[in-house]
């Protein structure tokens, strides 16, 4: 690395090397403290702070040896302590830009101090200026060479760490979802969450069979927007399942409720379209597993038919849980729909509109006013549609009421595939 530079080390620079060695402890403290105060992205825990101090000290020692002619440029490598600190930042998820800023700030502090030392050492302005210029060139070589090496160390460690962490996270998630005995505190440390909180499980996927490597970053970005819309109190657990889908858990506060309208608005801005199936929020280890299972059931309902699914389907939406159960035995469900709905089971827009009106009326416990509000029509329109629906069914609403509601739920959520001829 250093062989590409042709920089002389004049004798006048040696005084900086000697001064560095004499004031090593004080300079290390000043520079490490400045980095911690001015770069908040750097981890502030005691162990990592100690590693930062050792990294600063090792760089000052190496620079001192270089200035005194005890270290050749061709032999210049990043100190072991500096590499160790870079690896720790990678493991802690600190941005590489924080590491770059630390070296820039360190360079600024070091050059400022060094220039003052040279001015005091050489009263002759011309000699002092020449020494400062030589110092600038030599220090550039040092920082350029060492920072490039520690960044490479950071990136390599980040890849290793993420690969290892993802393996451990996947194993932990698999054990939780399988219902195996899991030590809660260990699982929390691995996943970076508090399992006592309410979590909302979700399945995210891209629409239209789109399947490309760049879908995963898009899904992860969509998960971030969705978490904000849902009021998540922390980063979600994101588990890719393939290029086009992922399982996600959002940490919620005590007010564990999902605003599906806000969620849909957040996803409507994605391109290609990202869809979400949501579970029911639940607390604890069992709740973490149950909300995921709910999300899978909502996903099954959302993707059952061949049409375009809505942006968001929640297990807590009226009828979604029942529709998921009805998919378990499709031949019987089709017979139930045909027998209960009669001519209302026709695959026409008119029949679909009557089925929707009838289902909303049942969900609103027979209130024409409430049904009209939900459908955004006049109550007389609801009354007229219900009369037509009863006529096409051929039986009053009170007859086999439970079977009627299940049939309407199946037709609403499972679509034409569940209707005669589907």
pLDDT tens column, 91-115: 877 889 999 999 999 999 999 999 9
pTM confidence score = 0.60
Give the pair of three-digit tokens for residue 398.
Answer: 């009170």
Give the pair of three-digit tokens for residue 257.
Answer: 């409720």
The mean per-residue pLDDT over the stretch 334-361 comes to: 89
390: burial class by Cβ within 10 Å (0-12, 13-18, 19+)?
middle
pLDDT at 389: 87
Among 1-10, 52-61, 119-128, 396-405, name the one with the lowest average pLDDT.
1-10
Closest CA to 308 of 405, 217, 421, 416: 416
**Domain 2-162 falls under CATH 1.10.490:** yes
CA distances (Å), origin 76, targets 54, 79, 137, 145: 18, 9, 15, 8
Q: What's the CA gap between 273 and 207, in Å, rounded?
A: 6
Class of domain 195-317: alpha beta
Q: Let me know: does 290 contact 316? Beta carbons within 8 Å.
A: no
Query: Is pLDDT of 146 > 90?
Result: yes
Closest CA to 238 of 292, 285, 281: 292
pLDDT at 6: 61
Tell me how many degrees the CA angle 57-61-63 measures, rounded to the nearest 5.
115
Whether the upstream peptide bond of residue 324 has omega within 30° of 0, thus cis, is no
The mean per-residue pLDDT over the stretch 301-308 comes to: 79
The residue among 82 and 303 whose pLDDT is bigger is: 82
Class of domain 328-418: mainly alpha
pLDDT at 1: 42
Residues of the chain with CATH 1.10.10: 328-418
Q: Let me know: does 274 contact 267? Beta carbons within 8 Å.
A: yes
Q: What's the CA gap between 168 and 268, in Å, rounded?
A: 33
Residues of the chain with CATH 3.30.70: 195-317
pLDDT at 270: 66
pLDDT at 2: 44
In sequence order, the 6+-apart residues with CB closer than 8 A to the CB of 326 are 333, 336, 406, 409, 410, 414, 418
Which percentage of the chain shows pLDDT scores above 90?
35
Q: Let me know: does 69 contact 9? Beta carbons within 8 Å.
A: yes
Q: What is the mean pLDDT of the chain?
A: 86
Tell me how many degrees the CA angle 273-290-180 measures, rounded to the nearest 5.
120
Among 9-23, 77-91, 197-211, 358-372, name the one with the lowest average pLDDT.
197-211
CA 6 to chain CA centroid, nearest Å: 46
Give the pair of three-digit tokens for residue 31.
Answer: 């520079």
Q: What's the CA gap between 341 and 63, in Å, rounded?
A: 85
pLDDT at 260: 80
Residue with tokens 């059931």: 297
Tell me the per-residue pLDDT of 212-236, one tens digit each, with 9 for 90 and over. 556 778 888 889 989 988 888 888 9
């Amino acid at each position: 690395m250093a062989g590409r530079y042709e920089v002389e080390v004049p004798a006048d620079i040696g005084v900086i090397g000697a001064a560095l060695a004499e004031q090593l402890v004080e300079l290390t403290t000043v520079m490490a403290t400045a980095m911690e105060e001015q770069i908040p992205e750097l981890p502030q825990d005691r162990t990592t702070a100690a590693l930062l101090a050792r990294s600063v000290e090792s760089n000052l020692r190496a620079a001192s040896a270089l200035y005194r002619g005890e270290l050749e440029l061709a032999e210049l490598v990043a100190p072991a302590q500096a590499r160790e600190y870079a690896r720790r930042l990678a493991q802690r998820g600190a941005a590489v830009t924080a590491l770059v800023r630390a070296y820039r700030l360190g360079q600024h502090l070091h050059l400022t101090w060094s220039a003052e030392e040279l001015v005091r050492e050489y009263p002759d302005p011309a000699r002092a200026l020449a020494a400062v210029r030589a110092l600038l060139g030599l220090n550039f070589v040092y920082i350029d060479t060492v920072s490039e090496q520690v960044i490479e160390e950071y990136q390599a460690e980040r890849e290793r760490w993420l690969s290892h962490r993802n393996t451990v996270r996947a194993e932990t998630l698999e054990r939780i979802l399988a219902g195996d005995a899991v030590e809660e505190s260990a699982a929390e440390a691995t996943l970076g969450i508090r399992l006592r909180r309410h979590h909302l499980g979700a399945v995210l996927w891209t629409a239209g069979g789109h399947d490309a490597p760049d879908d995963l970053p898009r899904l992860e970005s969509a998960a971030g927007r969705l978490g904000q819309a849902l009021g998540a109190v922390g980063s979600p657990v994101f588990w890719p399942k393939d290029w086009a889908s992922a399982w996600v858990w959002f940490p919620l506060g005590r007010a564990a409720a999902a605003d599906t309208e806000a969620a849909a608005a957040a996803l409507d801005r994605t391109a290609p379209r990202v869809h979400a199936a949501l579970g029911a929020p639940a607390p604890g280890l069992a709740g973490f597993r149950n909300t995921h299972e709910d999300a899978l059931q909502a996903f099954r309902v959302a993707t059952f038919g061949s049409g375009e699914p809505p942006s968001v389907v929640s297990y807590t939406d009226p009828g979604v849980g029942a529709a998921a159960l009805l998919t378990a035995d499709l031949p019987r469900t089709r017979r139930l729909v045909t027998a209960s709905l009669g001519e209302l089971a026709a695959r026409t827009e008119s029949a679909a509109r009557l089925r929707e009106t009838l289902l909303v009326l049942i969900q609103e416990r027979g209130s024409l006013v409430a049904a009209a509000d939900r459908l955004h029509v006049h109550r007389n329109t609801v009354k007229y549609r219900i009369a037509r629906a009863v006529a096409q069914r051929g039986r009053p609403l009170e007859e086999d009421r439970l079977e009627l509601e299940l049939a309407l739920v199946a037709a609403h959520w499972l679509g034409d595939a569940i209707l005669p001829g589907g």
